[in-house]
Amino acid sequence: MLSKTLQNAFNDQINHELSSSYLYLSMAAYAESLNLPGFANWLKIQTKEESGHAMKLYKFVNERGGRVELQKIEQPPLEFKSPTALFEEVLKHERKITVLINKLYEVALKEKDYAAQVLLHEFITEQVEEEASASAILETLKMAGEKGHALIMMDRQLARRGQN
Query: With respect to Mg ion, which residue has the nearer C-beta, 17 or 155?
Result: 17
CB of 10 to Mg ion, least distance (A): 13
Determine the size of the site formed for Mg ion (CB under 5 A): 3
- Region binding Mg ion by CB under 5 A among candidate stretches 3-11, 49-57, 103-111, 138-146: 49-57
113-146: b (≥16 Cβ within 10 Å) or e? beebeebbeebeebbeebbebbeebbeebeeeee
DSSP string, 51-78: HHHHHHHHHHHHHTT--------PPPP-
CB of 45 to Mg ion, least distance (A): 12
**Quick one: which of 53, 66, 83, 107 contacts Mg ion (CB under 5 A)?**
53
User: Does 44 contact Mg ion by CB under 5 A?
Assistant: no
Per CB under 5 A, residues contacting Mg ion are 17, 50, 53
